[in-house]
Structure 1
């Protein structure tokens, strides 16, 4: 053992020498309380413009959250639902209507994503344009995506929908339906059809039948014009704009007397032309 080697003298000062290697790791990161204090000073010390900007940002975030999960304005882009809905109307879509076990019912006006049923190949859209459209349409400032549709539910899973009788009316599960909401002068359909709606799907039609591209127009395509229930965005419950048309969109009584489908009816056949 080398007895001539001297140990270095220990630093006797009470304060550690500042440096990158000194101090505990936790002391290098601000605590949550310190972060909140800094954020508060940043807001208070920024003046009215900064506070107004932060308030506006918070309001925008709240609106986007409500629009994404609760109620979303939807601009009506065409006359396919006249006179119930007109071009330019803003309807408020209730996204909670079917969120907790509820299912669309006959007569409901619904907004749905038509990808895979009404649209087989969605149109290509620039990513930035799509983002701007989504943000603006979520608050009712722009028309929705071209794959979004608004129609009325005529048939649900298991229903047999047939059109038309001599008076131009359709029948659901053997019961004739008088649709008082149709556009004046329209019949239920100028094209005859006879379909059985598969379980978990919907048969939808516009109220302005002669000007609506709906389930009838996709009978020969994959899916047969049937809209999957899980593609439904929500139920249109109110017209929010313009103020002169401010009203609720209640479910009509046209389907009140329609019986439930027979068990196994949804497996008894697919779409076909009316006999």
Structure 2
């Protein structure tokens, strides 16, 4: 009688453990695969072809850019856009002015101003002025004024100031906003939103869901591996006790 009771209890214990293990693996698969699928829908990879965004993003770097509508773009965002006036290929630049802004450079201290407010730009290449060539531009409504972080080696809105739209591109030309660097290995990480534009009307944009997606994938992988490891561990313990 007592032996049957002990065997039944052990059987129930093993069954409960197996069920929990299966549930752990199932939840892990949902998180792991769901995170990847969601990321594939929300983000697109892009290879930066030039060094115009150095040192923030180097030439040949691989970035992850969140698919967004142009209406969501704020000053300070690094965007991927395509405009026929600029060329046939997608380009990557930083937004420094939006419709209605007056963008000018440079002050006596060598700083860029937006609507008369000097902007702190710690991401720029080198210690010189914010632009080696002075300029002033009024950004038309519905458009964006774009500059590279390597102002001494960037073909950007400054080179199109004589165009009808004063070098600005339509918001509709933007297809994505850069959220993170994915390659090379030494540069992997989130692209921080600059604080220099936060005091201006509209502020800066919020980061996309990449951190959450990464956490979901990592957590899912841990759950799958942990749940799958339960069976071999339980069998080994059973043989040891036997």
| Fold equivalence (TM over 0.5) | yes
Shift of 1:250: 2.1
Verify the 8 A CA contact 2:139 2:166 in the aligned structure 1: no
Q: SS where residue 110 of structure 1 aligns? A: strand
CA distance in 1, matches of 2:62, 2:156: 20
Residue 200 (structure 1) aligned to one of 132, 142, 147: 142
CA distance in 2, matches of 1:109, 1:248: 12
Q: SS where residue 177 of structure 2 aligns? A: strand
Aligned residues: 168
CA displacement 1:32-60 (0-9 Å, x = unmatched): xxxxxxxxxxxxxxxxxxxxxxxxxxxxx
Aligned residue runs from structure 1 range 42-53, under 5 A: none
Shift of 1:183: 0.4
CA displacement 1:174-209 (0-9 Å, x = unmatched): 111121110023421122111111111000000000
Residue 154 (structure 2) aligned to one of 187, 204, 212: 212
- RMSD over aligned CA atoms reads 2.2
Q: SS where residue 94 of structure 1 aligns? A: strand
Shift of 1:66: 6.8
Shift of 1:92: 0.4
Residue 249 (structure 1) aligned to one of 181, 186, 191: 191
Moved beyond 4 Å, runs of 4+: none
Q: SS where residue 254 of structure 1 aligns? A: coil
In the other structure, the counterpart of 1:87 is 59
In the other structure, the counterpart of 1:169 is 111
1:240 equivalenced with 2:211 (yes/no): no
Structure 1 stretches of 5 or more lacking a match? 1-61, 123-146, 261-275
Aligned residue runs from structure 1 range 101-140, under 5 A: 102-116=71-85, 118-119=86-87, 122=88
Verify the 8 A CA contact 2:62 2:182 in the aligned structure 1: yes
Q: SS where residue 152 of structure 2 aligns? A: helix
Shift of 1:259: 4.4
CA displacement 1:60-97 (0-9 Å, x = unmatched): xx98x976x521110011110000000111000100x3
In the other structure, the counterpart of 1:78 is 50
Verify the 8 A CA contact 1:168 1:187 in the aligned structure 2: yes
Computing the radius of gyration over CA atoms, which structure comes out larger, 1 or 2? 1
Verify the 8 A CA contact 2:140 2:165 in the aligned structure 1: no
Verify the 8 A CA contact 1:173 1:259 in the aligned structure 2: no
Shift of 1:224: 2.3
Verify the 8 A CA contact 2:99 2:143 in the aligned structure 1: yes
Q: SS where residue 79 of structure 2 aligns? A: strand
CA distance in 2, matches of 1:200, 1:221: 16
Verify the 8 A CA contact 1:161 1:195 in the aligned structure 2: yes
Residue 156 (structure 1) aligned to one of 90, 98, 103: 98
CA displacement 1:163-184 (0-9 Å, x = unmatched): 1111111110111112111002
Verify the 8 A CA contact 2:138 2:166 in the aligned structure 1: no
